[in-house]
Amino acid sequence: MSLNHRKMTMGVIVGSRGFFPDHLAKSGRQEILRTLHEAGMDVVVLDSPESNYGAVETREEARFCAQLFARNRERIDGIIVTLPNFGEERAIADTLRWADLRVPVLIQATPDDPKKMTIASRRDSFCGKMSACNNLRQYGIPYSLTTLHTESPDSPEFAQDLEWFAAVCRVVKGFRNLRIGAIGARPAAFNTVRYSEKILESQGISIETLDLSEVLGRIERMKDNDEHAQAKLAAIKKYVDTGSVPAAALIKMAKLGAVIDQWMNATEVTISAVQCWTSMEENLGVVPCTLMSMMSNELLSSACEVDICGVLGMHALRLASGTPSALLDWNNNYGSDPNKAVCFHCSNLPKHFFRTVKMDFQEIIAGTVGKDNTFGTCVGLIRPERMTFARFSTDDTSGVMRGYVGEGRFTDDPLHTFGGAGVVDIPQMQKLLSFICENGFEHHVAANLSTVAAAVHEASTRYLGWQMYWHGHGSC
């Protein structure tokens, strides 16, 4: 599964400076465009009639390019500044300032060939990149760097950097004007998932609330043969093995899913967090886990216990990777191995995570509300795979967003338990656990079967301005 539903579009600024060989601007423009097209991306770039070889050097060319970018504001996901020669740093900075797109910017400089160092072919982009970055810093424009100081557009290193930068762009764009659905109230026993709506709103993230009584009322008024309920029922049966689940519970789930779908569409909500313990079980007689699993599996991340900041982490990871995310508890030690732990939820993990999965009842609260009122969980073990974890939180004391991110792997270690669970192996895990406890982070963590910590960290720190700890990288 991949997020490539919509082709990405990059704005390109080809830098050039008059007393350097301008034929390098021409060939450099061709090289970067060929690379982006081969990566499946669309491009917005000046053409030759508008400037010398489609490069940006003069003030007039900078204005032309800025106007071009502004006209394509809704299309452009990020901007790549390519330096086939030294480049005119002021023109680059002016273009970005005047376009005011506020999207990620990647600076790429093409290396010189030691055999071509005469005045006719020397690039000096090694030096020009520093000047461009210096000016962007002066202008207050954030930017990202390639792994190596100079990289050819057709190099394997730039291909990897382009993939990383695309993930950064997806995260930044996916958080812009984001709307999150909070379905039901935070469970009384979960103070740990409290958050500040006002801090989120200051970041352009809005919360749309729906009282659980409204959900239950709409379900009660919905007929069993309602076309939306029947369509959801068919989708549930197709999604997971329901052989051991009573038909009465399945139609309740189907109605609940239909109501949530209709509300999310009507309110233009992208992701959600849902109340569970224990009102849903006591008043409806099912758990919402399978429905949430289905949404997450379709890249519409959904977190339990109304953990709004938890679903933000899920959303960031799925934007970066293009695959479903889950919300898990840092739940148990695994024997005496200090770098291993059991990650668990009841569960609403997306099917993408499981080795095999079936629908069952929720064993933890069945003793309180009765087994027949807790059908709807997705039960199975998480498949062995590399993973990235992330957690965001609103720090109400400081009035900022903060979080952590890192990578590890789910193992194939034996585990005999219920719900959805897996053993995770994370280098220096005791250091991570100390960081979580010392800084008062929640016990929930988002996980994704990918390696995208670098992209999530870059997007959240450099472009969203959040305070982040990158575990295993030594960066706070």
| CATH code for the domain of 143 | 3.40.50.10940
HEC string of 100-126? Answer: CCCCCEEEEECCCCCCCCCCCCCCCHH
319/261 same-domain check: yes
Distance of alpha carbon 470 from alpha carbon 476, whole angstroms: 6
Q: Which amino acid is at 171?
A: V
Overall number of domains in the chain: 2
Q: How many CB atoms lie within 10 A of CB 94?
A: 20
> Is 78 part of any domain?
yes
Domain end, chosen from 110, 142, 175, is at 175
> Residue 2 has what pLDDT?
46
- CA-atom Rg of the chain in angstroms: 25
HEC string of 164-187? Answer: HHHHHHHHHHHHCCCEEEEECCCC
Of residues 311, 342, 348, 364, the one with CA closest to residue 433: 342
Strand-strand pairing, 206-210 and 271-274? unpaired
Percent helix / strand / coil, the chain, rounded to 5 = 40, 25, 35
> Residue 173 has what pLDDT?
97
> Is 40 part of any domain?
yes
Answer yes or no: are the C-beta atoms of 393 and 320 closer than 8 Å.
no
User: What does the block give as tokens for 286?
Assistant: 């099912």
> Is 4 part of any domain?
no
Answer yes or no: are the C-beta atoms of 426 and 471 closer than 8 Å.
yes
197/49 same-domain check: no
Distance of alpha carbon 239 from alpha carbon 237, whole angstroms: 5
Helices assigned H by DSSP within 284-421: 289-297, 308-321, 363-369
Q: Which amino acid is at 338?
A: P
Of residues 404, 389, 45, 7, the one with CA closest to residue 169: 7
State the helix-helix crossing angle for 156-175 and 308-321, rounded to 10 degrees.
Answer: 150
62/171 same-domain check: yes
167/184 same-domain check: no
DSSP 475: B
194/111 same-domain check: no
H or E stretch including 90?
helix 89-99
State the helix-helix crossing angle for 23-38 and 156-175, rounded to 10 degrees.
Answer: 70
109/230 same-domain check: no
Domain end, chosen from 117, 149, 175, is at 175
| DSSP bridge partners of 420 | 345, 380
125/246 same-domain check: no
Answer yes or no: are the C-beta atoms of 260 and 273 closer than 8 Å.
no
> Is 475 part of any domain?
no
Of residues 443, 446, 206, the one with CA closest to residue 303: 446
> Is 2 part of any domain?
no
DSSP codes of every residue in 53-89: GG-B-SHHHHHHHHHHHHHTTTT--EEEEEESSS--H
H or E stretch including 470?
strand 467-470
92/108 same-domain check: yes
Listed in sequence order, the residues at least 6 apart from 129 whose beta carbon sits closer than 8 Å to its beta carbon are 83, 87, 107, 109, 149, 150
> Residue 119 has what pLDDT?
82
Distance of alpha carbon 407 from alpha carbon 41, whole angstroms: 28
Distance of alpha carbon 38 from alpha carbon 19, whole angstroms: 32
Distance of alpha carbon 460 from alpha carbon 445, whole angstroms: 16
Q: Which CATH number covers residue 445?
A: 3.20.14
DSSP 46: -
Q: Write out the residue range of the structural domain in which residue 328 sits.
A: 179-470
> Is 3 part of any domain?
no
Q: How many CB atoms lie within 10 A of CB 365?
A: 19
Listed in sequence order, the residues at least 6 apart from 88 whose beta carbon sits closer than 8 Å to its beta carbon are 15, 16, 17, 18, 56, 57, 58
Cα-based distances in Å from 323 to 134, 235, 353, 370, 448: 37, 20, 10, 35, 7
Note if the bond before 397 is cis, omega within 30 degrees: no
Answer yes or no: are the C-beta atoms of 92 and 15 closer than 8 Å.
yes
Mean pLDDT per 10-residue section of the chain, whose length is 476 residues: 69 90 90 98 91 91 97 98 96 98 98 90 94 98 98 98 98 97 93 96 98 98 98 98 97 98 98 93 97 98 97 98 98 98 97 97 92 96 98 96 98 96 98 98 98 98 98 74
154/222 same-domain check: no
The pTM (predicted TM-score) of the whole model is 0.96
130/209 same-domain check: no
| DSSP bridge partners of 382 | 354
207/167 same-domain check: no
Half-sphere exposure of 128 (CA within 13 A, CB side): 32
> Residue 4 has what pLDDT?
45
> Is 148 part of any domain?
yes
120/229 same-domain check: no
> Is 422 part of any domain?
yes
DSSP 460: I
Domain end, chosen from 153, 175, 197, is at 175
